[in-house]
Chains A and B, each alone.
Chain A
Amino acid sequence: MMLTFLLLPAIIMFIVSFFKNRKAKFLLPVSSFAILLPIIKLFILPKPYAILGSYLVADKLDTYILLVSSIVGIGVTLALLTLDRHVKVSAHAYSRFYRFFAIFWIGLIFSILANHMGIYWIGLELATLSTVYMIKTNHTPAAHKEAWNYMIVGAIAISLVLFGIILMYASAKPILGEDAMQFDLLLQHAKEIPSPFLFEMGFAIATVGMFVKMGFFPMNLWLANIERASFYPVAALFSGILESAVIVGFFRFSEVAAEVNYSHLFMFVFVYTLLTIFIVSFLIFRAKDFMRLFSLSGIEHMALIALFWVSGGTFAALLHFGAHAFLKPALFLSTGVLESNGKYRIAGALRGYSGKKGTLFWFLVSLFLLAIISLPPSPMFFSELYGFGAMIENAKESDHMLVMITAVLLLLILLSVIFYRFVAIYQSMKYEGETHTKKVYASELFALVLFALSLLALLLPDSMAYLRSIV
């Protein structure tokens, strides 16, 4: 029954998207809002809650990720209401966007709630394929090229994930039979897996697939190019929701991998994320437009989340995840207003807003820009403190304290490069360039206020306690 309620809004959205009647189109945003209701209900229910036998099980981790994603979905829907005022988009393309958004949601629900590697993969593939068309909503040759690029690179990444899943399944099948696909059973019997090397190979291949999907080393630029070419709500969906579905898989797989061989897992993820952040920091330093800047910053934050998670800082990783999921879509949606009429000039981008709406807009965008580089009291500031703390704690238990301190110092230098660049950009946006009159619409402001409130909610003691209780 719960599954029906979870899928119903997306199914309604899918069906309504075929209607030609103009009034029926109002149902599309309403159905997007309705997604939140069953998720809140699920959030309140005692955990773990079996939704579909042992295949779909809601625990604290996945309901948190689902709740965050549904709030992001509502924010994106609000911005979509006035998308046609900023860019050229036909009514047909708009309903098609919702049609694929509905499929995207169905895929996400399955992959986030999956307790089964196969279902996780099927959901992720469904979400990946539906985003291809969302990129194409923008009628430009660049968007067309990038849609094909996404189709191909996304397919390679998702195939690597399946390849890894098959190897992991093969490694655990002798002891668990067909149940070797279930995350909870794998976790319980991780130490008994007869061929740990096979499992680790599978984990490494699946992780590379997931990391490629999130734009990690060596694919740092492909996601940025795609987000540049598509409309800004698509980029918001990518960073706020799709990456959540990918990272939840990484969380689940790494929990099992940690039981199999923790030091191998840590070294693999540590080196990979450090390389990613090293390259991304210099790419951010050279970024010349908002979309690319925010895309690259998204890759940096996802790398930090993965690093904190494997370092044992699960609370830090989840706090960072929540903050990133709200901040990045907020910035991507602001890009739509900042780059009005396709002119993406950084200098003076925060000037030219008048009235209460305009003032609130530039104030919120300023806050988001400074919060994304972890300036206190951003939740990212606390998550990074806890995350680095967890890394040092982790090193205390090994003989590599000096290496860890060096790595943390290197990370801090790289993060300060990013910090410096963002502050310079912010100052250029506010104090340089010419002033052009720009307009901001109420729906966009509502979206930004929603994200700002959600960020504040993350800092509440109850939220923090909930996040601490997840793992």
Chain B
Amino acid sequence: MVDFLIGLFLASLITALFTTRLYRLLLWYSMNSLMLGLLALFIGRELNDTSMLITGIATILIKAVGIPYFFKRMSQKFHFVRQIIPEIKVQYAIMLIPAILVFTFYLADPITHMMHGNANYVAISISSLFLSLLLMMEHRNVAPKIIGFLSMENALFLLGITATDGMPMLVELGIFFDLLMAIVVINLLFHKEEANL
């Protein structure tokens, strides 16, 4: 089940890279976060780790539901451009994404030998990080860049869950707090943009 969820996590991120509509991108981000939350719940149940279960529920509530909803409202309020065409052509992206995946598996190879348990997941976390960076780079609009940043947080969270069998609760809550702060700052940046118009 964990393998299946992690596959869906990666698939939702790859699909987000090809998306040309903002709301659809939000949906894929929401799916990505949902898979992450479910992963935390499954691994937390396996390890009997209460803090990871709390993290999983918080991920689903904040990242899979709260942030996409808030972002959608923000996009309506500030009239974001709904069409988001990636700068990289589809045919190049199709070649680039597998290349990133292969490269990251190669890069993470020495690490995976040292880890017990979910070793391959480290490679998937690193590739998710690179793919999120690609999402930030391939768009000119600010909105997909923000989604790229949020997906990067998801990739880091995945690494935290799989590589370390869960980070301390304090750190995970701190990351959530910082994420909310990032959303406030992003909202303020858009507010100022509106004031300038």
| Known pairs A132-B185, A151-B189, A173-B164; A159 contacts B111 (CB<8 A) | no
**For chain B residues 165-196, which have a beta carbon within 8 Å of chain A?**
165, 167-168, 170-171, 174-175, 177-178, 181-182, 185-186, 188-189, 192-193, 196
Q: Is the CB of A132 within 8 A of B164?
A: no
Q: Does A125 contact B (CB under 8 A)?
A: yes
Tally the A-B contacts, defined by beta carbons under 8 Å: 98
Q: Is the CB of A144 within 8 A of B164?
A: no
Chain A: CB-nearest residue to B142: A148
With a cutoff of 8 Å between Cβ atoms, the chain B residues found around residue A197 in the complex are 110-111, 114
Q: Is the CB of B149 within 8 A of A155?
A: yes
With a cutoff of 8 Å between Cβ atoms, the chain A residues found around residue B192 in the complex are 136, 144
Query: Cα distance A152–B129 when bound, in Å?
Result: 14
Query: Cα distance A318–B167 when bound, in Å?
Result: 32
Q: Is the CB of A166 within 8 A of B168?
A: no
Interface of A: prevailing SS: helix
| Known pairs A129-B181, A156-B133, A170-B164; A119 contacts B174 (CB<8 A) | yes
With a cutoff of 8 Å between Cβ atoms, the chain B residues found around residue A119 in the complex are 170-171, 174
Q: Is the CB of B196 within 8 A of A144?
A: yes
Chain A: CB-nearest residue to B168: A178
**For chain A residues 264-283, which have a beta carbon within 8 Å of chain B?**
none
Q: Chain A's nearest CB lies how many Å from the CB of B135?
A: 11
With a cutoff of 8 Å between Cβ atoms, the chain B residues found around residue A162 in the complex are 156, 175
**For chain A residues 157-213, which have a beta carbon within 8 Å of chain B?**
159, 162-163, 166-167, 169-171, 173, 178, 181, 194-195, 197-198, 201
Q: Does B163 contact A (CB under 8 A)?
A: yes
- Of A122, A139, A159, A195, the residue contacting B174 (CB under 8 A) is A122
With a cutoff of 8 Å between Cβ atoms, the chain B residues found around residue A181 in the complex are 168, 171
Q: Chain B's nearest CB lies how many Å from the CB of A243?
A: 20
With a cutoff of 8 Å between Cβ atoms, the chain B residues found around residue A151 in the complex are 149, 185-186, 189
Q: Does B152 contact A (CB under 8 A)?
A: yes
Q: Is the CB of B110 within 8 A of A163?
A: no
- Of B152, B186, B188, B193, the residue contacting A159 (CB under 8 A) is B152
- Of A139, A169, A198, the residue contacting B196 (CB under 8 A) is A139
16 sampled A-B residue pairs with Cβ under 8 A: A116-B170, A118-B167, A119-B171, A129-B182, A130-B185, A133-B188, A144-B193, A148-B145, A148-B189, A156-B133, A156-B136, A159-B153, A163-B129, A169-B164, A173-B164, A195-B114
- B residues bordering A, Cβ < 8 Å? 110-111, 114-115, 129, 133, 136, 142, 145, 149, 152-153, 156, 159-160, 163-165, 167-168, 170-171, 174-175, 177-178, 181-182, 185-186, 188-189, 192-193, 196
3 tightest CB-CB pairs across the interface, nearest first? Answer: A118-B171, A122-B174, A195-B114
